[in-house]
Structure 1
Amino acid sequence: MIARAWKASATPEGARRYAEHFDGAVLPELRRQGGCRAAYLLTRESGELVEIQVITHWESLETIRAFAGDDLERAVVEPAARAVLTGFERTVAHFTVTEGQVA
Structure 2
Amino acid sequence: MITRIWEGRTKIEHSDIYTKIIMERDIPDYKKTEGFIKLTFLKRSDDEFTFFKLLTYWTSIKAITNFTGPNLEQAVAYKEDEKYLEDFPGNVTHFEIFAE
- TM-score (norm: length of structure 2): 0.89
1 CA distance for matches of 2:83 and 2:19? 13
Residue identity in the other structure for 1:75: A
2 CA distance for matches of 1:46 and 1:87? 17
Give 3-state SS (helix, strand or coil) of 2:32's partner: helix
Q: How does 1:1-103 map to 2 (within 5 A)?
A: 1-88=1-88, 90-100=90-100
Cα displacement (A) at 1:2: 0.5
Cα displacement (A) at 1:87: 2.4
8 Å CA contact 2:6, 2:91 repeated in 1: yes
Q: What do residues 10-68 of structure 1 show as CA deviations (whole Å, max 9, x unaligned)?
A: 12231211211111111111111121111122111133111111111111001101110
- TM-score (norm: length of structure 1): 0.87
8 Å CA contact 2:74, 2:89 repeated in 1: no
The CA RMSD measured in Å over matched residues stands at 1.4
Give 3-state SS (helix, strand or coil) of 1:3's partner: strand
Q: Name stretches of at least 5 consecutive residues in structure 2 with no aligned partner.
A: none
Question: Share of identical aligned residues, percent?
Answer: 26
8 Å CA contact 2:10, 2:86 repeated in 1: yes
Q: 1:62 to 1:35 in 2, by over 3 A?
A: same
Cα displacement (A) at 1:89: 5.5
Aligned residues: 100
Residue identity in the other structure for 2:22: F
2 CA distance for matches of 1:12 and 1:46? 8
